[in-house]
Amino acid sequence: MSGHLHGVVQTTRSDPSRVLEEIKRQTLEQLGGLPGTLYGPIEEALKADSLKGDGRNHHYEDQAALWILRQQQASHVMAFRQQVGHGFDAFRQPGSVVGGLGGSPLQLVGEQQLAFDLDGERLTEALELRYQRPLEMIRSRLQMMSQAMGAPEGDNPLGPYRLVKAFTAIYSEAQVNESLRLRLFRQYEHELARLLGDLYGRVNNLMATAGYGVSMGGAGAPVAPARAAEERRDRNTLDSVFDTVPHREAAASVPHDYNAHSAASGGYGGDGHAAHAGGHDNPQISQADVAAMASELAELRSQLHAWREGMVKAGGLPPGQAPQRSMAPRRELRIDEVVGMASLLQPEPPDAYARALAVSGRLGETIRDQLFDGARRLGFNPDQTCFSAEEDDAIDLVALLFDSLFRNHALQDRARRVYARLVMPYVKVALTDNEVFVKREHPARRLLDAITEACEGNDGETPQDRDLLERASDISQRIVSDYNEDLAVFELAHAELDALLSQHRRRIELQEQRAAKATYGRERLGAARSQADAAVRERIGEGRLTQAVADFLATPWRHHMVQVLLRENEDPKRRAQALALGDALVMADKLAAENRGRELADQLLALQPIIVQCLASSGLDDSAAQHGMAGLVRALATPDSERDEHAPPSASEVEEDIAEERRLYMAGGDGSGAHDPLLAERMRQLEPGDWLRLTNTQGETVAVKVAWVSPLTSRFLLVNRRGVRALVASAEELAVLAASGRLLVGAERTAFDEAMRQVRRHLDRVI
């Protein structure tokens, strides 16, 4: 039985030399051929640039230099592999001079060498910043390997410094001009960005499996200043967001990062084992803040206790699943004993949890059922033992958290098994590390956010979406198989999934941009149609017209007006000319009615080119346009033609998909109803990037983001987490939704934060 707490390094370690050799093999396997992959994309880019040139700028010098480099491709690949290998040799013997990367005598540096060094330094800094977290873990593990080998600590052989030095070493002596040098660096950075995330994840996992683990709990790597600053900015953002929930609920939903709490102040570290992360030593957190945060966690626990006791009294929990401390004198299980039960159950099929997630409120009962079963298998008598208050809190918080995630984040049924696998690992995390519920940067918390981002609203329609679901499923399997109270497993899994999600986020941004452009195009079309309808009504309503003139104004001329307003709205001359055509036709009909034949003939001759052009804009060819013109002339040539009043055209119909969208979210389908002016004014303060919770008329809630505000109508485009348009509504319509309780402004940006917020609201509501 595994009873130790997280952060304990595995005592059985593999031979460090063999581990280092395996790391070298994997590094060369993934990166060894990099120089050979650079030339093709650069050559294509040069060809594209030459085709786009104006005849004055030529790229033949770059192409000639690149052709020379391509002739030496094999030697460049070999030299690069040797330089990377020298980095591993230098790690084993840090004092030696290997590969010309250090220890050379002082000498003058040429301009090309200096340019390569400066560009290399910039690239090194960019890569170190980008991969800061996995590099810190690799650095710590390599230090442990150096100690195991009895050698001083050397440079990371697969870090950005070594990889960039290996690159510059093979090209600094080549004949490369400035333009080609910049292209080489840019392409090399692109290739590294494509490969390093996966490589660093594999290497970290390899070293952790070999026994060179790093505790990510209390004494783990410090949070980088930039990351800490970003974390503080995320917390402060909530201060300026309007929230329609009561103040108490809003305050309870704000996530806090506090670290060290004893069991007496709300921690879950039974037997005096409080998870400590040096929170009291953090200069950014005052003692008053720590006390306030501890008080808030204590309040959450008191809410849990009141909720649990209320459920027992109301019969909401079966007697066998209720807290048993007051039923008979029983021994409370220790934390390590419950963790051992969870470790026994962790690799077993998650069918019971998947079924429980399908029924709200059943997960906590199922977790206790499974733990009781594990207790029996380990020789504990459930009639003589019970969970402690801290253990009950951990179980209930995990159950409420997962239930909230599954209820409020548009997760498909196929994602249920992914979450079901994670239930028991997260119970273990909650038992041994209470920071998961309060610390935004906790690895287990960040992984759950990433998995929810990958699964929310994902129906697997596209290959990219299916890849995301498969990767999330694989990662949940890996957590089940690898997690043994070492939080580094969560950190590595998050880094891998986040690398894939970064590409997905770029696709979502493009989807949002397309939705905004499509919405703006529809608004412009709707505005043009409304103006054209108003112009037609104004002219048809002036008096009695022949049927031919009325039909021409209602159909071809209206379409022509729409085209002019859409394409040439900024040209007042074209707009005035199109309007004058309508007025001239009404005048021609009047001349015909008064039998003023000569003036009518002159009027029609003058209008013929414009009328033909108007008909052509409706898609008619020249012959059909001439035929339409002839029909108009025939109708006006007879003074006694029947003239009558004609009904003006009705308002433009709303597209079916927009009508369906408004029926889904707007009561009555049009969002009509009285609104609170103050609430509407607050809605106008929403900006792109603000998150909201929107509930449709069927009661389903989805997280939506303000993606765009129309410069034409000031309406807000709301998209879901997949970047798909959900609703376009005015501030007044949003105010109506908020007043009816179906719109909540100020939703949390991450799934875990929002789930904890919903847990607090649920406890408040039930109590």
What percent of the chain is predicted at pLDDT more than 90? Answer: 7
Question: Comparing 256 with 314, which gets the higher pLDDT?
Answer: 314
Mean of pLDDT values over 713-731: 87
548 domain-assigned: yes
Domain end among 624, 644, 664: 644
Q: What is the CA radius of gyration of the chain?
A: 35
H helices within 433-462, ranges in order? 443-455
Residues contacting 653, CB < 8 A, separation 6+: none
Backbone angles phi, psi at 722, to 5 degrees: -95, 0
**Are 443 and 591 members of one domain?**
no
At residue 140, does pLDDT exceed 60? yes
Element (H, E) at 288: helix 287-313
Domain that residue 444 falls in: 287-486
9 domain-assigned: no
Residue with tokens 């009518």: 600
- DSSP lists the bridge partners of residue 745 as 692
Q: 460 with 371: CB under 8 angstroms? A: no
Domain end among 619, 644, 669: 644
Q: 545 with 646: CB under 8 angstroms? A: yes
Question: Comparing 656 with 459, which gets the higher pLDDT?
Answer: 459
262 domain-assigned: no
Mean of pLDDT values over 562-566: 84
**Are 637 and 690 members of one domain?**
no
478 domain-assigned: yes
**Are 464 and 407 members of one domain?**
yes
At residue 647, does pLDDT exceed 70? no
In whole angstroms, give the CA distance from residue 738 to residue 735. 5
530 burial class (0-12, 13-18, 19+ CB within 10 angstroms)? middle
SS3 180: helix
**Are 296 and 437 members of one domain?**
yes
Distances in Å between the alpha carbon of 626 and those of 600, 623, 641, 732?
A: 18, 5, 22, 49
> Which pLDDT score is estimated for 279?
38
End-to-end CA distance of the chain: 38
**Are 320 and 417 members of one domain?**
yes
At residue 424, does pLDDT exceed 90? yes
The closest alpha carbon to 165, from 43, 74, 75, 79, belongs to 79
Helix axes 389-408, 335-345, angle to 10 degrees: 40
Q: 20 with 353: CB under 8 angstroms? A: no
The closest alpha carbon to 760, from 426, 300, 306, 393, belongs to 300
Element (H, E) at 596: none
261 domain-assigned: no
pLDDT in tens, 4-55: 333 333 446 778 888 888 898 888 888 888 888 888 888 888 877 776 654 4
pLDDT band at 398 (very low <50, low <70, confident <90, very high): very high
**Are 623 and 667 members of one domain?**
no
**Are 586 and 660 members of one domain?**
no
At residue 569, does pLDDT exceed 70? no
Prediction pTM value: 0.53
Most confident among 180-184, 420-424, 672-676 (mean pLDDT): 420-424
Mean of pLDDT values over 362-391: 87
SS3 per residue for 54-80: CCCCCCHHHHHHHHHHHHCHHHHHHHH
In whole angstroms, give the CA distance from residue 705 to residue 685. 14
Residues contacting 464, CB < 8 A, separation 6+: 503, 504, 507
**Are 296 and 383 members of one domain?**
yes
pLDDT in tens, 113-128: 777 888 888 888 888 8
**Both tokens of residue 233?**
């900015």
At residue 169, does pLDDT exceed 60? yes
pLDDT in tens, 321-343: 455 544 456 788 888 889 989 99
SS3 262: coil
Residues contacting 6, CB < 8 A, separation 6+: 215, 217, 429, 432, 433, 485, 486, 487
Mean of pLDDT values over 442-469: 86
Domain end among 587, 610, 644: 644
> Which pLDDT score is estimated for 461?
81
246 domain-assigned: no
SS3 per residue for 669-702: HCCCCCCCHHHHHHHCCCCCCCEEEEECCCCCEE
The closest alpha carbon to 504, from 471, 465, 466, belongs to 465
> Which pLDDT score is estimated for 293?
53
pLDDT in tens, 533-553: 888 888 887 677 777 788 788
Chain centroid to CA 350: 27
Q: 434 with 268: CB under 8 angstroms? A: yes
**Both tokens of residue 55?**
């005849």
Q: 584 with 603: CB under 8 angstroms? A: yes
pLDDT in tens, 676-715: 888 888 888 888 888 888 888 777 778 888 999 998 888 9
> What total number of domains does the chain contain?
4
> Which pLDDT score is estimated for 672?
54
**Are 196 and 308 members of one domain?**
no
**Are 453 and 525 members of one domain?**
no
**Are 664 and 591 members of one domain?**
no
> Which pLDDT score is estimated for 677?
86
Most confident among 71-80, 279-288, 629-638 (mean pLDDT): 71-80
In whole angstroms, give the CA distance from residue 472 to residue 450. 9
At residue 475, does pLDDT exceed 90? yes
In whole angstroms, give the CA distance from residue 503 to residue 468. 11
At residue 241, does pLDDT exceed 60? no
> Which pLDDT score is estimated for 1?
35
245 domain-assigned: no
Considering all CA atoms of the chain, what is the largest pairwise distance in Å, rounded to the nearest integer? 114
> Which pLDDT score is estimated for 642?
67
Residue with tokens 């369906």: 660
526 domain-assigned: yes
Q: 706 with 717: CB under 8 angstroms? A: yes
**Are 409 and 303 members of one domain?**
yes
pLDDT in tens, 171-180: 877 777 888 8
